[in-house]
Amino acid sequence: MISNSTFEHIRQDKKALSEVARVIKKGGLFFITIPDPNLNQFLKRKLKNATKVEMVNQRIAHSHYRSLDQWQKIMVKNGLRVVSHKKYFSPKATQAWLNLFSMAVFKPYKRELWSYLKDSPYGKLMPKKIIIWLLNIYLLPLMKNIYHQQGSWILIIAQKE
């Protein structure tokens, strides 16, 4: 079973994890990616304002940030054993994410910029191929060494016992 960037949005994540553990067969694997508390610490350092950090977390709908140790304990309680884990998304990659996020949610008027570009004729001024090309130039170098000790996200592979 795979859960990619989902559990941080589930308020009752422990209950959801118990359901995952219930349906996985013995020996089955569960791949989960979740934000590390480093992401929230990064936001606090960069935004330097608790209100702004809270606004970002509300906008991205992150209900909580749990550490690897916390996830391991929750998984053990549910009959899952962590067989592998890695942190990923370096501070530079996280900064790139924050830059893109900040541009997308900027409100020039009443709506976020991304919605104007998506829904208006102005969005057609920049061909999709050019946007993809620019994003590749900006993001690909950051993705070459995706795993990082101070990563802001965690990949966990757990096995049902």
- CB-CB contact of 159 with 29 (8 Å): yes
What is the overall mean pLDDT for the chain?
A: 91
For residues 118-127, average pLDDT: 69
Q: Are residues 82 and 160 in the same domain?
A: yes
Q: Are residues 152 and 131 in the same domain?
A: no
pLDDT of the residue at 123:
65
pLDDT band at 58 (very low <50, low <70, confident <90, very high): very high
pLDDT of the residue at 86:
97
Number of folded domains that form the chain = 2
Q: Are residues 95 and 136 in the same domain?
A: yes
**Taking the model in full, what pTM does it have?**
0.86
Each residue's pLDDT tens digit, 67-86: 999 999 999 999 999 999 99
Q: Are residues 79 and 125 in the same domain?
A: no
pLDDT of the residue at 116:
64
Q: Are residues 38 and 85 in the same domain?
A: yes
Which residues form the domain of 130? Answer: 91-144
Give the separation between CA 22 and CA 6, rounded to whole angstroms.
18
Whichever domain contains 2, its CATH number is 3.40.50.150
Report the share of the chain in percent with pLDDT over 70.
94
Q: Are residues 15 and 73 in the same domain?
A: yes
Backbone angles phi, psi at 154, to 5 degrees: -125, 135
Report the share of the chain in percent with pLDDT over 90.
71
Q: Are residues 124 and 68 in the same domain?
A: no
Give the separation between CA 37 and CA 42, rounded to whole angstroms.
9
> Is the model's pLDDT at 145 over the cut of 80?
yes
Q: Are residues 1 and 63 in the same domain?
A: yes
